[in-house]
Chains A and B, each alone.
Chain A
């Protein structure tokens, strides 16, 4: 009779315990900031792994997303004789939503899963405990640089994605389908506000950077130190990141663009 209730209670306690561990983990990781200021080499090394190696994927995805937006938008808009608004449609959807969101999803698949697997394996092979033995704080040495590399890389990658995406839409719309070039850009510039759209887009991508990297490094650090545990943690990292990004995107959009 009380067994289902007990299971529910135990499950909720587990969730809360994990949330608590995740927050303590973040607080501890933030205490490593002086360390990365003193030794920026650690951060730069991780920015290479997390950021530079993601550029090609992000750039190509941005190009194709922009080209698809150009094609689909043209088909719908030409029904209303409003092809000139293609620039607005492509730019608004990329700047406000697709840029930050799709970049965050790709980023969690490309970089987040790698971070989780790497840290999880470090834990499974007892490299983290080894560091502690040598009086090196693995938090400051391993976690903080990876966390900040992810947070700093996300807005840059999202900006790149958006910019290339708009040129993808431009290529399809203006070069292939013959939308007027002047109105493509001028209507876009008239509709996209610097403060309302662009700054909010950067804030969004920064928030997603925090979410995705935080989940990735925490799942790695919290993984059961076996090969199965690491594989599960990697899956969880990508799945939770996707949920968290899409869910928080709704909240952020409601706060930024809701009236």
Chain B
């Protein structure tokens, strides 16, 4: 009788430790805490002519602070522009003349949406669109422009 009690206690400890480890993994290691905020935030739209390697769940930052995530990306079939849907945490209000740009974190890092707040007294609301946007820089385009420029400069001299 006593022996089986000890066994039961140890199994109880084992199950508690195992479930505790899974729970702590969810809270500490994954984005579960953020997960809830993501559902409560409000939606904003922005159109870009090129989004580079922006993905769903990429961060949306203002002054380097993450205030939301990209929720969906799809193509506008008429204007051939990428429409990026973002979820912004509700405590952050953005003026309606804010500018959305796509930047890269670090030299090789992932891309994110950076927002520069404007000065308008009106705030963007759920479902509104950010009008002024700046697309991602594509390395090949930059190199192409640079080459064209250098050949133009060196051309007439010779």
Q: Is the CB of B11 within 8 A of A193?
A: no
Contact with B along A41-56 (1 / 0, CB 8 A): 1001101100110010
Q: Is the CB of B7 within 8 A of A159?
A: no
Verify if A95 is at the interface (C-beta below 8 Å from B).
Answer: yes
Residues of B within 8 A of A189 (CB): 28-31, 33-34
Q: Is the CB of A160 within 8 A of B17?
A: yes
Q: Is the CB of A44 within 8 A of B7?
A: yes
Distance (Å) between the CB of A167 and the closest chain B CB? 10
Q: Is the CB of A156 within 8 A of B11?
A: no
Verify if A163 is at the interface (C-beta below 8 Å from B).
Answer: yes
Distance (Å) between the CB of B64 and the closest chain A CB? 12
Contact with B along A108-151 (1 / 0, CB 8 A): 00000000000000000000000000000000000000000000
Q: Is the CB of A160 within 8 A of B29?
A: no
Q: Is the CB of B14 within 8 A of A198?
A: no
Verify if A98 is at the interface (C-beta below 8 Å from B).
Answer: no
Q: Is the CB of A198 within 8 A of B7?
A: no
Contact with A along B1-32 (1 / 0, CB 8 A): 00010011011011101110110111011111
Verify if A240 is at the interface (C-beta below 8 Å from B).
Answer: no
How many Å lie between the Cα of A188 and that of B57 in the bound state?
A: 14
CB nearest to A55 among chain B residues: B14
**A157-B18 contact in complex given A48-B10, A52-B11, C-beta closer than 8 Å:** yes
Residues of B within 8 A of A197 (CB): 30
**A155-B11 contact in complex given A188-B29, A189-B29, A189-B31, C-beta closer than 8 Å:** no
B26 contact from A47, A51, A155, A194, Cβ within 8 A: A194
**A45-B7 contact in complex given A198-B26, A202-B22, C-beta closer than 8 Å:** yes
Distance (Å) between the CB of B73 and the closest chain A CB? 15
Verify if A166 is at the interface (C-beta below 8 Å from B).
Answer: yes
Q: Is the CB of A155 within 8 A of B18?
A: yes
Residues of B within 8 A of A188 (CB): 29
Verify if A91 is at the interface (C-beta below 8 Å from B).
Answer: yes
A45 contact from B4, B19, B31, B57, Cβ within 8 A: B4
Q: Is the CB of A198 within 8 A of B30?
A: yes
Contact with B along A190-234 (1 / 0, CB 8 A): 101110011000100000000000000000000000000000000
Verify if A257 is at the interface (C-beta below 8 Å from B).
Answer: no
How many Å lie between the Cα of A91 and that of B31 in the bound state?
A: 12
Q: Is the CB of B22 within 8 A of A156?
A: yes
Residues of B within 8 A of A157 (CB): 18
Q: Is the CB of B14 within 8 A of A52?
A: yes
Residues of A within 8 A of B10 (CB): 48, 52
CB nearest to B10 among chain A residues: A52
**A47-B11 contact in complex given A159-B18, A193-B30, A194-B32, C-beta closer than 8 Å:** yes
Verify if A171 is at the interface (C-beta below 8 Å from B).
Answer: no
Q: Is the CB of A190 within 8 A of B4?
A: no
Residues of A within 8 A of B30 (CB): 95, 189, 192-194, 197-198
B25 contact from A48, A163, A185, Cβ within 8 A: A163
Residues of B within 8 A of A163 (CB): 21-22, 24-25, 29
Verify if B35 is at the interface (C-beta below 8 Å from A).
Answer: yes
CB nearest to A149 among chain B residues: B11
How many Å lie between the Cα of A197 and that of B57 in the bound state?
A: 14
Q: Is the CB of A48 within 8 A of B26?
A: no
Verify if B68 is at the interface (C-beta below 8 Å from A).
Answer: no
Distance (Å) between the CB of A80 and the closest chain B CB? 7
Verify if B139 is at the interface (C-beta below 8 Å from A).
Answer: no
**A91-B29 contact in complex given A47-B11, A193-B57, C-beta closer than 8 Å:** yes
Contact with A along B28-66 (1 / 0, CB 8 A): 111111110000000000000000000001010000001
Q: Is the CB of A156 within 8 A of B29?
A: no
Q: Can you show 10 pairs from A to B with CB atoms below 8 A apart?
A: A45-B4, A45-B7, A47-B11, A52-B10, A52-B11, A82-B106, A95-B29, A95-B30, A156-B15, A159-B25
